[in-house]
């Protein structure tokens, strides 16, 4: 997962969502609210294209899943499941783009809570997953820095889905190649071609690897984290390369 910016919906779409929420709120009991939420979500499908368009705008790469970052995001996921929080069924801040595997096979209605009742899963549009997850780059697995990070690893199978682990290892090697190509292209004075390389790098699946690389390169222990990969670390610390890649994402690490 990587930090994402929440898109702003049109006034008309926001008004429709608020109307549906008011409809659910007017039900007398929690059971009735859940039933009405399910009914409205299934019957008001005309709202989904606008929601999907907003989520697509927010998603990493080419409509990648906001949880695993690998597969195409095909589902509008309710971060807090509508079966548990019917009043959030049409809450734009509760919608994320997920692949069918993360949504239907992994997360489903799982929504673990901390002892104080706060969510354990990380919403990448509300906070930075880097505060909770550390990617061990050479082996492609995550280590939970907090209970919330560990919950994400478990619920989404971030370390048990072999395709993700192998994919991250490949993405680590590919990111290094992108950076080497960028440096050589800039040295030849081909800045327009270098911009294309940056775009391709950020649109590649599993871009969480690239985010982790830039983030960890600034850590005091970067020399240890990139042991045996000194050339890659030098590229990550190259001020010109760093500025070019960070400008594309609009972030700094």
- Residue 159 has what pLDDT? 98
HSE on the CB side for 144, CA within 13 Å? 17
3-state secondary structure 154-200: HHHCCCCCHHHHHHHHHHHHHHHHHHHHHHHHHHCCCHHHHHHHHHH
Three-class DSSP category at 112: coil
Where do we find the tokens 């929504």? 111
Report the distance separating Cα 164 and Cα 167, nearest Å: 5
Quick: pLDDT tens for 73-115: 999 999 999 999 999 999 999 999 999 999 999 999 899 999 9
Closest by CA to 68, choosing from 202, 177, 162, is: 162
**pLDDT exceeds cutoff 80 at 251:** no
Where do we find the tokens 């699946």? 205
How far is C-alpha 189 from the geometric centre of its chain's CA atoms?
34
Quick: pLDDT tens for 17-44: 999 999 999 999 999 999 999 999 999 9
Report the distance separating Cα 216 and Cα 230, nearest Å: 13
Quick: pLDDT tens for 171-193: 999 999 999 999 999 999 999 99
């Amino acid at each position: 997962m990587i930090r994402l910016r929440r898109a702003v919906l049109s006034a008309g779409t926001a008004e429709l969502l608020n109307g549906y929420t008011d409809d659910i709120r007017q039900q007398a009991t929690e059971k009735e609210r859940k039933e009405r939420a399910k009914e409205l979500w299934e019957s008001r499908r005309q709202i989904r294209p606008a929601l999907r368009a907003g989520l697509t705008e927010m998603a990493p790469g080419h409509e990648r899943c906001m949880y695993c970052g690998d597969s195409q995001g095909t589902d509008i996921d309710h971060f807090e499941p509508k079966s548990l929080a019917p009043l959030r069924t049409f809450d734009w801040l509760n919608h994320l783009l997920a692949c069918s595997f993360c949504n239907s096979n992994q997360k489903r209605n799982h929504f673990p809570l901390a002892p104080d009742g706060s969510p354990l899963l990380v919403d990448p549009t509300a906070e930075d997953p880097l505060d909770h997850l550390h990617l061990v780059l050479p082996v492609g697995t995550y280590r939970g820095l907090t209970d919330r990070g560990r919950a994400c690893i478990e619920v989404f199978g971030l370390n048990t889905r072999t395709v993700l682990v192998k994919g991250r290892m490949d993405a680590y090697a590919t990111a290094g190649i992108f950076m080497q190509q960028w440096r050589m292209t800039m040295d030849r004075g081909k800045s327009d071609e270098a911009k294309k390389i940056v775009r391709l790098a950020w649109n590649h699946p599993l871009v969480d690897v690239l985010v982790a690389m830039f983030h960890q390169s600034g850590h005091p222990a970067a020399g240890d984290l990139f042991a045996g990969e000194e050339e890659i670390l030098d590229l990550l610390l190259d001020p010109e390369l760093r500025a070019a890649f960070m400008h594309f994402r609009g972030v700094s690490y």
